[in-house]
Structure 1
Amino acid sequence: MAKLELHATHPAVVKRLKRANGHLMSVINMIESGQSCTDIAQQLHAVEKAIQQAKRTLIQDHIDHCLDEAIAGPANVQVVADFKAITKYL
């Protein structure tokens, strides 16, 4: 697996994931304390959307960065392979 370069959006993605992680822990506590299934489902939906948005931001940034690199440099084969590999997560 190739080492990921730090992109401009990575700090924001990490921040979003940390918030989602904290929110997920709250959902676990809701389940353990016997909260309403409707309330739990609503909160799980919010966690899911936060993670989905973080993934979308990460992948979009990677695609934008790597396509510029592929056009400009000689390592086109590996960059295109990375591009193809990451698109399966869209």
Structure 2
Amino acid sequence: MTERHLHASHPAIIARLKRADGHLRSVIAMIEAGKPCLAVAQQLLAVEKAIANAKRELIHDHMDHCLDAEGSKTDRDELRTIARYL
């Protein structure tokens, strides 16, 4: 079993992702209702940006709080790995 890994920023990130989830559900409904593609594409861009912002906040928070200030090799390797997701 893995240990819970929580940060102070996680509740805000969860809230952002839940809003993005609701927004995505409304985009799906737009497609099902036959709304114009331009409107759907615009809303999909908003969902995409919301998710990207949540991801960026999570990664930056991890880099600020989880990597050792001394910069061990393990931390540098982890930084390289997580930076791929930016």
The TM-score normalised by the length of structure 1 is 0.83
Instruction: Provide the rounded CA distance (Å) in 2 between the counterparts of 1:64 and 1:86.
Output: 12
Q: In 2 relative to 1, CA 4–85 (structure 1 residues): closer, same or farther, beyond 3 Å? A: farther
- 1:89 partnered with 2:85: yes
* Secondary structure of 1:71 counterpart: coil
Structure 1 residue 83: Cα displacement: 1.7
Instruction: Provide the rounded CA distance (Å) in 2 between the counterparts of 1:45 and 1:24.
Output: 10
Q: 1:71 aligns to what?
A: 69
- Note the aligned Cα RMSD (angstroms): 2.0
Identity across the alignment (%): 55
Q: Counterparts in 2 of 1:1-90, with a 5 A limit? A: 5-67=5-67, 70-71=68-69, 76-90=72-86
Structure 1 residue 7: Cα displacement: 1.0
Structure 1 residue 77: Cα displacement: 3.6
Q: Identify unmatched segments of 5+ residues in structure 2.
A: none
Structure 1 or 2: more helix by fraction: 1
Structure 1 residue 57: Cα displacement: 0.4
Instruction: Provide the rounded CA distance (Å) in 1 between the counterparts of 2:44 and 2:29.
Output: 12
Question: How many pairs align?
Answer: 85
Instruction: Provide the rounded CA distance (Å) in 2 between the counterparts of 1:26 and 1:45.
Output: 13
Instruction: Provide the rounded CA distance (Å) in 1 between the counterparts of 2:21 and 2:34.
Output: 20
